[in-house]
Amino acid sequence: MTIIRQLLIILSVLMVTVGVYAQDNPAPTAFVLQMGADGIPLIGETTLPGPSLTVDWNPQDNNSYARVGDFGILRFAPIGSPEGVYTFAPYFEGFTAPSRQENRLFVDEAKWSPNGQQLVFRISSGNEQGNDGVWYWQPAQETVTDPSYHLLRDCPPGCGLVNSRDTSEWKSLSMDWSPDNVAVLVHLYLPEEDRNAIGLVFASRDPESPQADIQPPTYRYEYGSWANDGQQLIVSGYDAFDNAVFGFLNRDGSNPQVSMANSIGLAYVRNAVQNPTTGEIIMLGSTVGNTGAVALYKSDGTALTPLIGTTAPDYVEWSPNRDAVLVRAGAEAYIATVSGAIYDITGIVNNNPMVSWVEAGFPANTIPQTLPQPVAVQETATPITITVPTDNTTPAPDGTLFVPQTQFAPGQLLEVVVGSVAIYTEPIIGAEVVADIPQGEALVLIGGPLTDGVTVWWRVQTLDFIGWAEEAINGVAQFAP
């Protein structure tokens, strides 16, 4: 496993960013997404009351929202109420900030609960006053500490405000409510371990037991989402041992049921969710590691879409019914559906950071936009073998080089399963041998496949060598996942 991990490090750089999309350009408009009854996405542009960094639409009322103004001030419109500035703890009536840099209570994100009655928001000011982290608001005001509570206190270097810790530092990155409105899954960054993790906090109003003073249950998986029953989590990405995995985990951290990504032919998986109808896990995956473009996959390794864009995502948001996903990578923006269609919306949203799904319908002032046609997918020719007399790159008479029959795909991480595999300088029997790779060593398929009508060749890379290898000899595969 050490060799495999070393090879992955050579091919990729560990991603440690999760959360809301880039907030550098406040805008007075936002784009909203919705799945139509025919399974085709809808997109519209809506006007906001002012320049904003993020906005979250209430899942029960399309005219209720929580938005963060350009200086990081939280403004929200609860169901049946007009927009107002959030003035509850840790804020106060009249709180203002002359700039983003001077806002010591800068809000990074806000999320409504599924029932539309509660709100969590995340302060990310970077100051040392202990207010950074996740806060909870609910409308009841029955005790002196109502209606807001600090659920999770970020713990920067030198943090002395949080007790019972199993790691000395963490920073909250994003938040997701449980389906039953009682718990919040928080994506975390652990600086000392240089990795992402997930933590769990509860929407509690108990002032005698402040959660913010205790580290939440923390699980070493890069990504997490709620299972349909709200009692389990769907985890994905690198685990505590740097294996790319996906599967289920009880929300108390018990009974992990996870599978290795390479068991289904993938080098990396992320942002896994549970299909609400079938109960199956659906996820983004790559055959080349965490720096490559991704496609949608089922848990058995079946690809649902071709590659989405050209590079690895830096923001992913699933639709409420898990039937489509928004994927952003730099300036690129796409909607991919589980039915296999990919829509390039880059030109519509024009790098606006506020593009999100709505559940209760488009807001009243939304102007529908024309969705482009699905990205055209080039049909793959029926695999056949052709006889190539010399260099295995001679095209057929019509100019097409057909791909031979094979069980593998470019980008796969495999392991030598025979005594040794010879690597050649060229895909020709009798070419110079570069090296003999022993059983158990890892290799990556970086080119091919090619065929001479008998042998299927792959260009492979190990920690030390690059060359061509035969997929099988006398019908026996030389490497496998």
CATH number at 2-369 = 2.130.10.10
Mean pLDDT calculated for residue range 298-325: 94
Per residue in 63-96, pLDDT tens? 999 999 999 999 999 999 999 999 999 999 999 9
- 114-123, 217-226, 271-280, 417-426: which range is least confident on average? 417-426
Give the pLDDT of residue 35: 95
Which residue ranges does the chain devote to CATH 2.30.30?
Answer: 379-481
pLDDT at 61 over 80: yes
Residue with the bigger pLDDT between 480 and 164: it is 480
Q: Is the pLDDT of residue 248 over 80?
A: yes
User: What proportion of the chain, given as a percentage, has pLDDT over 90?
Assistant: 61
Q: Which of 116-120, 144-148, 451-455 ranks highest by mean pLDDT?
A: 116-120
What is the model's pLDDT at position 109? 95
Q: Could you say which of 2.30.30, 2.60.40, 2.20.28, 2.40.10 is the CATH number of the domain covering 379-481?
A: 2.30.30
Q: If you average pLDDT over residues 306-315, what whole number do you get?
A: 92
Instruction: Give per-residue pLDDT as tens, 411-440.
Output: 788 999 999 999 998 888 778 898 999 999
Q: Is the pLDDT of residue 384 over 80?
A: no
3-state SS, the chain, equals CHHHHHHHHHHCCCCCCCCCCCCCCCEEEEEEEEECCCCCEEEEEEEEEEEEEEEEECCCCCCCEEEEECCCCEEEECCCCCCEECCCCCCCCCCCCCCCCCCCCCEEEEEECCCCCCEEEEECCCCCCCCCEEEEECCCCCCCCCCEEEEEECECCCCCCCECCCCCCEEEEEEEECCCCCEEEEEEEECCCCEEEEEEEECCCCCCCCHHHECCCEECCCEEEECCCCCEEEEEEECCCCCEEEEEEECCCCCCEEEEHHHHCCCEEEEEEECCCCCCEEEEEECCCCCCCEEEEECCCCECCCCECCCCCCEEEECCCCCEEEEEECCEEEEEECCCCEEECHHHHCCCCCEEECCCCCCCCCEEECCCCCCCCCCCCCCCCCCCCCCCCCCCCCCCCCCCCCCCCCCCEEEECCCEEEEECCCCCCCCEEEEEECCCEEEEEEEEEECCCCEEEEEECCCCEEEEECEECCEECEEC
What pTM was estimated for this model as a whole? Answer: 0.75
User: Rounded mean pLDDT of 331-336?
Assistant: 96
> What was the pLDDT predicted at 349?
95
In this predicted model, what pLDDT tens digit does every residue of 131-189 receive, in sequence order?
999 999 999 988 888 999 999 989 876 676 666 666 678 899 999 999 999 999 999 99
Percentage of the chain lying above the pLDDT 70 cut: 85
Which has the minimum average pLDDT: 97-111, 119-133, 205-219? 205-219
- CATH 2.130.10.10 domain position(s) in the chain: 2-369
Confidence check: pLDDT of 118 > 80: yes
The mean-pLDDT minimum among 201-210, 356-365, 380-389 falls in 380-389
